[in-house]
Amino acid sequence: MRGPVRNASYLLAGEATSRIFGFLTTAVLARRLGVDGFGQVGFAAAVMAYGVVSTDLGLVTVATRSVARDRSQAGDLVGSILPLRLLLGLVAAAVMVLIAVVLPKPASVKWLLGLYSLAVIAQSFLIEWVFVGSERMGFVSVARVVTNCAYFALVLVLVRNSGATPFVPVAFTIATLLGVLVLFAVYVPRFGLPRLRFGRLRWRELIKSAWPIGAASLLTQLHVNLGLVLLGLIATFQQTGIYNSAFRLVFFLMTLDRVFYTVFFPVVSRFMKDRPERLPELVGTAARIVLALSIPFCVGASILARPVLEAVFSSAYAVAFPVLLIMVWLLPLSMFNSLCGYTLLAAGKERRFLRNTAIGVGTAVVLNLVTVPLLGPPGAAAALVAGEVILLVLMSRDLLGMVRPKIDLRVVAPIAAVAAMAVVVFLLRGMNLVGCIGFGALTYSVLILLLRGITAEDIGFARTE
C-alpha cells in the first residue's frame, strides 16, 4: 500500500500547481472584470457551489472510506454512484435555472447562474474519490492540474473585459470536463468500463448511509458561501467583489486543508480498523503538523494584507484588507476541524458529525443575518470565522471523548518559529513584497527544522508497515 508521504507529495505538488493556476485565473478575472463584475461572478459561483455539493450528499466520502478499506469495491461503487450523482446534478442544475429566472437581478447575473448550472452537471462525473480511497493521489493531482491549466488558458482567451462575464462559467465547465476525461482515461485500463446500475434499492442504501455526511456537507457549504451570497443579494456587487477578493486569497491558502484531509482520511480510516492502539499518536502528530503549516500564513497575511491585495488584484481591492485580516484565521480553524471531523467519520460517527455541523452552521447563519446588513464584508468575514470556532469546540469535544491525542513539548516549536518570522516580516515590510515573504519563509523554515517542530519521522509516521 502506498505510504502517505508519497501521497502527500503527489497531492501537494498537484494542488500547489493547480491552485497557482487557479490563483492566476482569479487575479486575471479581478483585473479584467473590475470590482463589480468580479462580485457578480463570485456570487454566481457561490450559488453553483451549493449545486455541486448537492450532487454529492456524502456519497463521495462514504465511497472513499469503503475503497480505503476494500479496494475491490471500487468498480461496483462507480457503477452505482455515477448515475445517481448525474441524476442529482440534473436536479440541482434545474433548480439553479429556476433561481436565475425568478431572481430580481441584472441579466448578466441570470446568465451566469444559468451557465454555471452546466458546471454542476459536469462536476457530477468526477471520480477522484476512487483514487483518493485507493491512495493513488498522483492521478488526482494530474487531473486537477489539467483542469486548472485549461481554465486559466480559456479565461485568458475568452474573458477580455467586464462584458465577458458569461464566458467565465463556460470556461470553467469545459475545464472540468477535461479533468473528468483524464480521470476516466486512468480508470478504464485499471477497472474497465463502468457498468452503470440504476437500481433504486442500491441507491436507497447508499443514500441512507451517506445522508448524514451529505447534510453536513450542505451545511458546511452554506456556512462557507453564505456571506458571499448575502452580499450579492442585499448589498452592491461592488461590496461583493471586495469580499470576494479576500475570500479567494484565503481559498488559495485552503489548499493546505484540502491536501491534509484528502491524505488524512484514508490513513485514519486504516488506523481505525487495523491499528486503533496507535490512533492517539497519529492524531497528536497530525495536530502538530496542522499547527506548523497554518499559523505562519495567518501571521504573515496579517502583517502584509494590504500590499498583498494590491499586488494580486490591483489597488482597487486594497480596501479589502480588514476582511482579509479576519478571514485568514479560517485556515487553522478549518484544518483542525478537518482533523477532528474526519477522525469522527473514520470511526463511523456520521450523526455526531452532522449534529456538530448543524449547530455551528446554524450559529453562523444567525450571525451572518445580523452582521452582513450592519457591517458589510467585514461582518460576513467575522461570522464565517465565528462559526468555524464554534464548530471546532464541538468537534474537538467529541474527538477527545473518543481518543486522547499524544502531544509533546514540540508543539511549542511552531509558535516560537512564527514569532521570529513575524519580527523579520514586520521589519522588512517596506521592501519588495516577494523578498519580504521570502526572508520570512526562510526564517520560519530554518527554525521549525532546528526546533524539530516537524520531522521526517512525523510525516512518515503513518506509512503502512
Query: Which SS3 state, helix, strand or coil, does residue 222 take?
Result: helix
Among candidates 214, 110, 276, which has minimal Cα distance to 268?
A: 276
pTM of the model: 0.77
pLDDT at 15: 67
CB 176 within 8 A of CB 52: no
CA distance linking residue 200 with residue 129, whole number of Å: 22
pLDDT at 135: 65
Q: With bands split at pLDDT 50, 70 and 90, how would you rate the model's confidence at 465?
A: very low
At 411-432, the pLDDT tens digits run: 888 889 999 999 999 998 877 8
Residues making up the chain, counted from first to last: 465
User: Span 239-268, mean pLDDT?
Assistant: 85
* Spatial CB neighbours of 105, under 8 Å, sequence gap ≥ 6: none
For Cα atoms 87, 210, 69, give the angle at the middle one, nearest 5 degrees.
115
Among candidates 29, 89, 97, which has minimal Cα distance to 59?
A: 89
Residue ranges of E strands in 316-407: none
At 105-127, the pLDDT tens digits run: 989 999 999 999 999 999 998 88
* Spatial CB neighbours of 30, under 8 Å, sequence gap ≥ 6: 38, 241, 245, 248, 312, 313, 314, 317
The pLDDT of residue 402 is above 80: yes
CA distance linking residue 320 with residue 380, whole number of Å: 12
Q: Say which amino acid occupies 348.
A: G
Q: In degrees rounded to 5, what are phi and psi of residue 418?
A: -75, -30
CA distance linking residue 262 with residue 180, whole number of Å: 18
Among 153-162, 260-269, 340-349, the least confident range:
260-269
- Residue 366 grid coordinates: 444567525
- Residue 151 grid coordinates: 481554465
Among 176-190, 209-223, 252-266, 440-454, the least confident range:
209-223
Helix, strand, coil % over all residues of the chain, rounded to 5: 85, 0, 15
Q: With bands split at pLDDT 50, 70 and 90, how would you rate the model's confidence at 2?
A: very low
CB 69 within 8 A of CB 273: yes
Query: Which SS3 state, helix, strand or coil, does residue 196 take?
Result: coil
Percentage, residues of the chain above pLDDT 70: 92
Q: Calculate the average pLDDT of the chain.
A: 85
Regarding predicted confidence, which is higher, 47 or 461?
47
Sign of CA dihedral 225, 231, 234, 237: negative
At 444-457, the pLDDT tens digits run: 989 888 887 776 66
* DSSP letter string, 363-384: HHHHHHHHHHHHHSHHHHHHHH
Among 24-38, 266-280, 284-298, 323-337, the least confident range:
266-280
At 50-68, the pLDDT tens digits run: 888 888 777 877 777 777 7
Q: Which value, in Å, is the radius of gyration of the alpha carbons in the chain?
A: 22
Regarding predicted confidence, which is higher, 453 or 249?
249
N-to-C CA span, the chain: 9
For Cα atoms 35, 178, 215, give the angle at the middle one, nearest 5 degrees.
70
